A and B are shown apart, each in its own frame.
Chain A
Amino acid sequence: MARSDDAIRILQGLLVFGNVVIGMCGIALTAECIFFVSNPHGLYPLLEATGNDDIYAAAWIGIFVGFALLALSILGIVAVIKSNRTLLLVYIILMLITYAFEMASCITAATQRDFLTPNLFLKQMLERYNKSEAVNNNDKRMTEGVTKTWDKLMLQNQCCGVQGPTDWQEYTSVFRTTHSDADYPWPRNCCVMNAQGSPINLDGCKLGVPGYYNSNGCYDAISGPMNTHAWGVAWFGFAILCWTFFVLLGTMFYWSRVEY
């Protein structure tokens, strides 16, 4: 039965190769998700205040799934080479569990990304930025987080508001209750600053002279990193799962051909 043996050898080789790829993808997934969880753009407080920070949960799951994929791929390689039925069965079942977790992570990341619209951030900014009275400690913490994040965003990205400085004029806000419209048509960080951190021309900023205030909105600076985060977790996970699907099918077929 040399021909059948050759076919089985080829299948073994393919399965080992498949598991090597899964292992490497597992390491990549872990690294990517650690990067996202470390909050490199400082946008986590905005998400936390929306009450919907599930893309971070998805990234956390991704870290552990990546480790699991690495460990299981090594188990898979050993099981295929030894052709041990028990090991192969353990491998298949554990891989299916990991598959289910990774599926949850991908779907969560994709669904939550759809939830993060410009209006959501606009409403949050107007209702929380520079809010002076807090309901409770949790509310206070989230308000401080939102205020600090927006101040940093506007300063570093030279932008103002979500769609532009007119956001502060078109809508009422908590900021407006403590800062009069004549003194602060928009927050101070919307002014172009010099190296020392003060506006280069405060009157020009209040008048809205182009060049002395930031006239573009910050939404691009928010949605860019969030899109990368969500799509990175969702679609890379999707690619890994597609590959794993074929490897698992092959392993199931291989298991059914191994005799005790």
Chain B
Amino acid sequence: HPHSRPRHSGARTMLPLLLLLLATAHGLDKLPTLEAPVLASSSLGGQTTASTFVLEQPRCVFKNVQEDTVIWLVVADPRAVPNFTNSVEPGGPGREFQQFLNSSLAYMTLNTTILNYPCPKNPGDITVLRVGSETGCATDKARPTCNGPLPGPGPYQVKFLALNGSKPVAQTAWSKPITLRTAQPSGSIPVPGSGHSAGMIALTSILSILFAILLAGLVAMLIWGSDASSGSSTFSKPEAVTVRRYNTHHVYDQPAARL
């Protein structure tokens, strides 16, 4: 009789049940799920702005794919993430950038061949993707895969999808939610009323006191100084005093006295 391990009767139904569970867990895609995209380093000043954000390129993520595979970036509202299907073609109905957040809750953009993401990357190279940089096609309905500026602060979730023709062959996991910056109104900047520094207060008070002393001195000088000319401590003006030599004229007087 054939060598076979004795099976429990219930095991026959367990295996199909397990397969069914696995299939529903992966959303019927059965694609390998690679590591999720990440935002670029925060040393970049423009890592997130009000309508763009910067991702690291998926270098060395998609291994074992053919050379003519095209890598797409999927940008989605978090509401679209649970029911997302990879089978809708890029730019197709429900995937137009121009209708993002209206009738499309996701769109696909930044398509490029796998050859543009060589592995390993040169150390020191900045390998990033700027999402939202194409402003020219933002309202052009003929370009549903436009990499246009995002319509609001989000949050958004992204993933990379590898398509061979129109068949998905690999995907990454969804990224963590990315929230963009919101600008505060410039009118809300507080411009405090005059706060006086210590230096200014010292300067004002000292100068005021000195000026007050001078005015008091002027008044005192005018009231009491005017009669100081009769005091004993005044001094004479150094006028040009000429001492006139008085001739005593003794010689002329004597003859008058003898007469």
Contact = CB atoms under 8 A, between A and B. Distances in A.
B181 A208 contact: no
A169 B49 contact: yes
B228 interface: yes
B191 A120 contact: yes
B45 A238 contact: no
A259 B186 contact: no
Given A185-B49, A208-B44, A117 B196 contact: no
A8 B183 contact: no
B184 A171 contact: yes
B84 interface: no
Given A207-B130, A208-B44, A181 B50 contact: yes
A117 B133 CA distance: 35
A170 to B, nearest CB: 6
Nearest to B52: A182
A119 interface: yes
B214 A83 contact: no
A255 B221 contact: yes
Given A8-B235, A113-B200, A120-B191, A126 B45 contact: no
B44 A170 contact: no
Contacts of A176: 183
Contacts of A142: none
B226 to A, nearest CB: 8
A183 to B, nearest CB: 5
Nearest to B149: A182
Interface of B is mostly: loop
Contact of B44 (A103, A209, A241): A209
Interface string A1-32: 10011001000000000000000000000000
Interface residues of B, number: 58
A189 to B, nearest CB: 15
Interface string A228-256: 00000011001001100100110010011
Q: How large is the interface on A (under 10, 10 to 19, 20 to 34, 35 or more residues)?
A: 35 or more
B195 interface: yes
Contacts of B252: none
Interface in A139-171: 165-166, 169-171
B54 interface: yes
B125 to A, nearest CB: 12
Contacts of B192: 117, 119
Given A127-B186, A166-B45, A110 B203 contact: yes
A133 B44 CA distance: 33
A55 interface: no
B235 A257 contact: yes
B235 A96 contact: no
Q: Which of A120, A181, A258 has the most CB of B within 10 A?
A: A181
A111 interface: yes
A1 B235 contact: yes
Interface string B196-217: 1101100110111011011101
Contacts of A173: 186
A182 B132 CA distance: 7
Contacts of A103: 207-208, 211
A185 B46 contact: yes
Contacts of B130: 203, 206-207
Contacts of B51: 180-182
Contact of A114 (B133, B134, B185, B196): B196
B235 A208 contact: no
A257 B199 CA distance: 38
Given A169-B181, A238-B203, A256 B189 contact: no
Interface in A101-128: 103, 106-107, 110-111, 113-115, 117, 119-120, 122-123, 126-127
Interface in A190-245: 203, 206-210, 213, 215, 234-235, 238, 241-242, 245
Interface of A: 1, 4-5, 8, 83, 92-93, 96, 99-100, 103, 106-107, 110-111, 113-115, 117, 119-120, 122-123, 126-127, 165-166, 169-173, 176, 180-183, 185, 203, 206-210, 213, 215, 234-235, 238, 241-242, 245, 248-249, 252, 255-260
9 contacts: A4-B233, A5-B235, A92-B218, A110-B204, A127-B186, A169-B50, A235-B203, A241-B207, A257-B235
